[in-house]
Amino acid sequence: MRTLTDHLNKEASLYRELIEILQKETEDLIVRDYKGLYDTVGRKEQVLNRIAKAAPQRLRLIKEAALRLGVTGAPGLSAVIERAHGAEKEALKSARDIIVSLIESAKEINTVNSLAMKDSLENIKKTLGFLGNFLPGGTYKQSGAFDTASIKGSRLSEGA
C-alpha cells in the first residue's frame, strides 16, 4: 500500500508541474512570446509523456494491492481504497482526491488556453481577410478567358 501511495504522490507532483507549465503557456499566449511558447509547449510534452509512462505502473500497483486485499473482478483504485484500513485508506483517499483536483485544474487552464489560441487565430483570419481586400482583381478567369475589365490596347484595331 505504501508503494501505491508513494506512486500516487509522485503522479500528483507531475500534475502540479503540468499546471505550472499550463499557466506559463497562458502567460506566453497573452504577451505573445512565441519563442517562450515554443519552449513551454516542449516542456509540456515532456511532462505529459512522463504522466503517460506512470499510468501502467499505477495500474500494476493497483492490481497488486487489490490482490493482497482480496478484491475480485476488475480492480480499481476505488475498490482498493474501500478495502484498505486506517491510515493507509486515508493516505490513498487523500492522494486520489489531490490527483482528481489537479486534473480538473489542468482541464480548466487548458480550456482557457484553447480559447485564447482560438481568438488569436480568429484575429489572424480577420487581418488576412482585411488585407485581401486590397489585392487587385485577377485578369483571367479560371477558364483562361479575360475577365470583364478592359485591357489597355485591346481595342487599338477599332481606332483610337
Q: What is the DSSP string of 75-120?
A: --HHHHHHH--HHHHHHHHHHHHHHHHHHHHHHHHHHHHHHHHHHH
Longest dimension (CA), the chain: 105
Identify the band that residue 120 occupies on the pLDDT scale cut at 50, 70 and 90. confident
Domain range list for the chain: 2-133
State in words which class domain 2-133 has. mainly alpha
26 contacts: CB under 8 Å, gap ≥ 6: 109, 112, 113, 116
66 contacts: CB under 8 Å, gap ≥ 6: 75, 79, 80, 83
Which residue has better confidence, 154 or 57?
57
Give the cell for residue 151.
Answer: 485591357
Mean of the per-residue pLDDT values of the chain: 85
Q: Which of 15-19, 129-133, 144-148 has the lowest mean pLDDT?
A: 144-148
Q: Which of 57-61, 72-76, 91-95 has the lowest mean pLDDT?
A: 72-76
Assess whether pLDDT exceeds 70 at residue 138.
Answer: no
112 contacts: CB under 8 Å, gap ≥ 6: 26
The residue-averaged pLDDT of 65-78 equals: 85
How far is it, in rounded angstroms, from Cα 62 to Cα 79? Answer: 9
- At 136 the pLDDT is 64
C-beta atoms surrounding 149 within 10 Å:
9
- At 50 the pLDDT is 97
